């Protein structure tokens, strides 16, 4: 009995509380404020895309991993594929790792010479620029954008590669959230 009395306080000292809202089955409503203090008005689809971007960028230990909200804002505000801007940043700067110091320009925008006050402002500005100067003027595919955006003929293929990687991450998240198993 004495052993139990001594052992019980030791166990309770190392036990951390479990927060039920962090674990949810498919019947539970997703808490969109889970990973940041921002409230989302977005659909579950955008939430999954946000998580796919974040997970993928974290795997690369990328500086842009903290900018997922800006990527989602840009894709909704300018009606872009949510994986286009992160994919371009992968090609142009290894997701924000290699860029001109102090520019916060992970897109090579203006040959990388245009400075921005922050990554999030760069994301929104380049999203707007892609919409107004490329897509609204008829460059609606990655190949068409690539012919204007970058010299050479390999840029579009590299952007598409990263877009596909983000889509694979999204698919993995969706598989993990389903109740069924494919055999």
Q: Give the model's confidence band at 35: pLDDT under 50 very low, under 70 low, under 90 confident, else very high.
A: very low
> Mean of the pLDDT values across residues 120-134?
98
Q: Residue 23: its pLDDT value, please?
A: 36
Write the class of the CATH domain 42-177: mainly alpha
Higher-pLDDT residue of 151 and 77 is 77
The rounded mean pLDDT for the chain is 81
| Whole-number pLDDT of residue 183 | 58
DSSP-derived secondary structure letter, 19: -
pLDDT digits (tens, 9 = 90+) for 62-99: 999 999 999 999 999 999 999 999 999 999 999 999 99
pLDDT at position 84, please? 98
What is the average per-residue pLDDT within 37-53? 75
Q: Residue 1's pLDDT is what?
A: 52
Tens-digit pLDDT profile for residues 91-125: 999 999 999 999 999 999 999 999 999 999 999 99
CB 41 within 8 A of CB 76: no
Give first-to-last CA distance, the chain, whole Å. Answer: 51
More confident residue, 2 or 129: 129
Strands (E), 40-167: none
In order, the DSSP letters of 166-181 are HHHHHHHHHHHH-S--
């Amino acid at each position: 009995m004495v052993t139990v009395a001594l052992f019980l306080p030791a166990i309770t000292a190392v036990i951390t509380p479990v927060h039920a809202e962090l674990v949810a089955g498919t019947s539970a409503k997703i808490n969109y404020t889970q990973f940041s203090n921002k409230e989302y008005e977005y659909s579950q689809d955008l939430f999954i895309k946000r998580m796919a971007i974040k997970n993928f960028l974290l795997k690369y230990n990328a500086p842009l991993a903290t900018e997922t909200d800006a990527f989602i804002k840009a894709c909704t505000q300018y009606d872009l594929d949510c994986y286009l801007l992160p994919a371009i940043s992968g090609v142009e700067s290894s997701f924000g790792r290699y860029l001109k110091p102090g520019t916060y320009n992970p897109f090579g925008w203006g040959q990388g010479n245009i400075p921005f006050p922050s990554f999030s402002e760069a994301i929104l500005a380049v999203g707007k620029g892609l919409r107004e100067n490329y897509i609204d003027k008829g460059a609606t595919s990655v190949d068409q954008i690539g012919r204007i955006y970058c010299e050479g003929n390999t840029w579009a293929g590299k952007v598409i590669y990263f877009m596909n990687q983000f889509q694979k991450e999204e698919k993995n998240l969706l598989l993990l959230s389903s109740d069924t198993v494919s055999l």
